[in-house]
Chains A and B, each alone.
Chain A
């Protein structure tokens, strides 16, 4: 017989999202709470992100990943927030029953008044790319390689090609080079990199690593260990162009081809998932379609900056605390919410719903579907413009944030809020 433990708030994941959410909830007075973490230490992916550049927005200084995480962990300890590591959540039910398992405490079942999902994301594996060739050793997602190097102290290989120019791929190009490997190329299927300019300059250019845009890996060779790959240029439909093949002799291929929110538990709880973000559909309080279940951080939508993850998660933590205190969700009547829609040139706006009487300002977060220069992001409520933000550039590699003031929202009625891009050149 498995006993059921009652608890006010259960936070799943002790990465930056879970830590911030738990800190905010505790600061709001929720004392019956528990953070569950599957790794042996809190900190999430930041533990292996040993490069600097974290925390500029939040702390006005540049920290490394472990340093950023250490601040939240210290605050959580100060607030006496219990964090149980080495504990994996196995299931979450729609009525907020959670089962989990750990070597120390065995199999347990909790019944929570509120749950915050903060499980983060995972990398797109080779299978998703359908790259033909052998299935030899030496092909890793960039994050796996990062773990081997930065946390385990092992180098996966000597001669490396990186597929995908997202920030993790770029960071690993520099890491592998600094630690003594030879990085031959970084290959990107799109005509532009989704990584920060700073990373292209400081991770590739600084070390003379060529970036092949509009190229992809078309063959993988090697029986036991990777021996080489072929890279081909792609046309505008991303199909390889015959005759453009370049062969590389390498023993390692790192894949940095996108991140996917890890929502298996959310789906088990019946949480509605957006096909655009691959994360939960939420309202401005970060409450999902299942009452009392909240989501924040990379499990909700993939962020570029941990500072944004923390800010979002503080809000989710406060909202969960408010939910626990009032024991009710915000208005569920559809007449009392605006539905948020992606307009032209916009993808995956979060939140997808906004209450007509929000308790504070609401950030609309989205990505443009292409690069827009000298353009505006425009917010309309039932076709009437309510906010406009101009920028020299909007790019898919950078999440855009538009803040809707509470004072503005309080004056509006209607049923639909739409975000769209206007003007400017766009490409790819």
Chain B
């Protein structure tokens, strides 16, 4: 049994942002997640856009948190050493109805407090982004729109929280929650029992399920899958901005956007599915993306596609975020329905929740913080002089493990040794980009698996691609030959 002040359920972008805020308070805090790592749900598979905030209806939680959160991003990314680029966005329209919708968006944006929005003519839009479909009729320019790597953000937030005392624990599937007589909460998982004064539901796609375990006011959530194409960063980028089409009831539509790493992202689809863990891609979904994205980008080519993926966003029937205390459940807090613009909103949601919890528990802020161990510059981005110094300090900088993305052995070991370190091949991939390139780990995965095995003392046969039973290897050649599998 583990006793603590605050238990956060969910290590996605909201849970990690909250854990960092909570690490500033004099309290014992733990974050648990059912998956094997930080950012394993919607956080690892979304568009990576820090929206400016023109889309949400004025007066909604979404509108308020989006605009506030987006304003926090530059400073937060700076202090955490996470790449963030204000590349701007265009929302494009092809007919009069679209143009009317864009005027509405402009009004909404102004009401929400978004700066520098402007309607563009066809000519202006094409001048800014010459690869756009020349049939574009009008566009909304959103200079405040930015891009970020959502999982890198979550890793950094978690690391910062962890160095300041928050503990992280994975493969923790919550099986029961009950309120004890003394007013504390007992959370039972597949591995442990936690007793906490405060529990926070940041469980993403399981948010409604957890809520319904502790509240009589039942919520219903829809699992909305979004599929994507990710193109090689060697391919020339057609656009320097994120290009959206006019939003619909199902979301912001298919976008074409550069990523902070210089890849091109196409997607997402929006399909309501029964199983929140079903992150398969489908041929219908993939062809829909091509069809829709080619309307934005007529010269579309996916010849340089390196992977397809999908993420599942948590959509509440009420179409808005729920952030705050769970009614009639003292000590329980929640942030649920955190679909787009959830990435943009997370820092602000975390700030508010943390304040509510501090007040509920009458917590003081810590007098001093441990400085965040800024992640060293990636070898790939170093100058020749910096590389010389790096290799002479640590010779393992001299061994390139991932040739496509130029990731060194030193960086892979660092990723494992981070405060919330990588334990899987995909965990290494998302922290270092090893395996993220055009060969998709073909060359480097055997070596990465070996390093993981060495660093963590896990036998190679127990190394997984992404947790659970995703084992890389079946057995040794010796056991196979002895007929164990014939």
Give the interface of A toward B (CB within 8 A). Answer: 1-2, 38, 86, 88, 90, 99, 101-107, 109, 122-123, 125-128, 130, 132-137, 140-141, 143-144, 147-149, 152-158, 179-182, 218, 220-221, 223-225, 240, 251-252, 264
- Known A-B contacts A101-B397, A107-B398, A143-B442; the reply to A132 vs B391 at CB < 8 A is no
Complex A-B: 22 CB contacts under 8 Å: A103-B399, A106-B392, A107-B388, A107-B390, A107-B392, A109-B384, A122-B438, A125-B442, A127-B306, A132-B286, A135-B279, A137-B466, A137-B472, A144-B441, A144-B446, A154-B460, A155-B474, A155-B477, A156-B472, A224-B471, A251-B474, A264-B234
Q: Which residues of A contact B438 (CB under 8 A)?
A: 122, 125, 127
Q: Which residues of A contact B443 (CB under 8 A)?
A: 122, 144
Q: Which residues of A contact B309 (CB under 8 A)?
A: 135
Whether, in the assembled complex, B282 has its beta carbon less than 8 Å from a beta carbon of chain A, the answer is yes
Stretch at the interface among B9-17, B75-83, B478-486: B478-486
Whether, in the assembled complex, B387 has its beta carbon less than 8 Å from a beta carbon of chain A, the answer is yes
Q: Which residues of B contact A143 (CB under 8 A)?
A: 442
Of all chain B residues, which has the CB nearest A126? B440
Q: Which residues of B contact A147 (CB under 8 A)?
A: 446
Q: Which residues of A contact B461 (CB under 8 A)?
A: 154
Q: Which residues of B contact A218 (CB under 8 A)?
A: 283
Q: Which residues of B contact A220 (CB under 8 A)?
A: 280
Query: A88, A126, A223: which contacts B307 (Cβ < 8 A)?
Result: A126
Bound-state CA distance A65–B391 (Å) is 34
- Known A-B contacts A122-B439, A130-B286, A144-B445; the reply to A104 vs B398 at CB < 8 A is yes
Whether, in the assembled complex, B131 has its beta carbon less than 8 Å from a beta carbon of chain A, the answer is no
Of all chain A residues, which has the CB nearest B393? A106
Query: A102, A144, A153, A221: which contacts B477 (Cβ < 8 A)?
Result: A153
A239 to chain B, nearest CB (A): 10
Bound-state CA distance A158–B486 (Å) is 8
Contact indicator per residue, chain B 396-425, by CB within 8 Å of chain A (1) or not (0):
111110011010010000000000000000
Inter-chain contact A180/B388, CB cutoff 8 Å: no
Query: B283, B406, B465: which contacts A137 (Cβ < 8 A)?
Result: B465
Inter-chain contact A88/B477, CB cutoff 8 Å: no
| A103-B395, A154-B477 given; 8 more Cβ-contact pairs under 8 Å | A38-B403, A107-B384, A107-B391, A127-B308, A128-B306, A136-B470, A154-B474, A224-B466
Bound-state CA distance A140–B442 (Å) is 7
Bound-state CA distance A136–B470 (Å) is 7
Inter-chain contact A2/B474, CB cutoff 8 Å: no
Q: Which residues of A contact B480 (CB under 8 A)?
A: 155, 179-181
Q: Which residues of B contact A106 (CB under 8 A)?
A: 388, 391-392, 395, 398
Q: With contacts defined as CB atoms under 8 Å apart, how many contacts are there between chain A and chain B in the complex?
A: 167
Bound-state CA distance A38–B404 (Å) is 13
Q: How large is the interface on B (under 10, 10 to 19, 20 to 34, 35 or more residues)?
A: 35 or more
Whether, in the assembled complex, B274 has its beta carbon less than 8 Å from a beta carbon of chain A, the answer is no
Q: Which residues of A contact B478 (CB under 8 A)?
A: 153
Within 8 A of A (CB), among B80-122: none
Q: Which residues of B contact A240 (CB under 8 A)?
A: 283
Inter-chain contact B465/A136, CB cutoff 8 Å: yes
B206 to chain A, nearest CB (A): 16
- Known A-B contacts A133-B280, A137-B464, A224-B469; the reply to A128 vs B305 at CB < 8 A is yes
- Known A-B contacts A122-B439, A130-B308, A225-B469; the reply to A102 vs B464 at CB < 8 A is no
Q: Which residues of A contact B329 (CB under 8 A)?
A: none
Inter-chain contact A154/B473, CB cutoff 8 Å: yes
- Known A-B contacts A90-B406, A128-B305, A132-B283; the reply to A102 vs B442 at CB < 8 A is no
- Known A-B contacts A86-B399, A99-B384; the reply to A180 vs B470 at CB < 8 A is no
Query: A86, A123, A157: which contacts B439 (Cβ < 8 A)?
Result: A123
Inter-chain contact A127/B305, CB cutoff 8 Å: yes
A39 to chain B, nearest CB (A): 10
Whether, in the assembled complex, B476 has its beta carbon less than 8 Å from a beta carbon of chain A, the answer is yes
Whether, in the assembled complex, B475 has its beta carbon less than 8 Å from a beta carbon of chain A, the answer is yes
B152 to chain A, nearest CB (A): 19
Whether, in the assembled complex, B281 has its beta carbon less than 8 Å from a beta carbon of chain A, the answer is yes
- Known A-B contacts A102-B398, A103-B398; the reply to A148 vs B440 at CB < 8 A is no
Which of A181, A221, A225 has its CB near the most chain B CB atoms (within 10 A)? A225
Inter-chain contact B388/A2, CB cutoff 8 Å: yes
Q: Rank and list the top 6 A-B pairs by shortest CB-CB distance, nearest first.
A: A180-B480, A137-B465, A103-B395, A137-B470, A88-B400, A125-B440
- Known A-B contacts A107-B384, A107-B388; the reply to A132 vs B280 at CB < 8 A is yes
Bound-state CA distance A127–B306 (Å) is 4
Q: Which residues of A contact B486 (CB under 8 A)?
A: 180, 182
Inter-chain contact A148/B473, CB cutoff 8 Å: yes
Inter-chain contact B279/A134, CB cutoff 8 Å: yes
Whether, in the assembled complex, B385 has its beta carbon less than 8 Å from a beta carbon of chain A, the answer is yes
- Known A-B contacts A132-B282, A137-B470, A158-B485; the reply to A144 vs B399 at CB < 8 A is no
Query: A101, A105, A126, A156: which contacts B474 (Cβ < 8 A)?
Result: A156
Of all chain A residues, which has the CB nearest B380? A90
Of all chain B residues, which has the CB nearest A149? B477
Bound-state CA distance A102–B387 (Å) is 11
Whether, in the assembled complex, B59 has its beta carbon less than 8 Å from a beta carbon of chain A, the answer is no
Bound-state CA distance A1–B406 (Å) is 22
Whether, in the assembled complex, B277 has its beta carbon less than 8 Å from a beta carbon of chain A, the answer is yes
Bound-state CA distance A136–B465 (Å) is 8
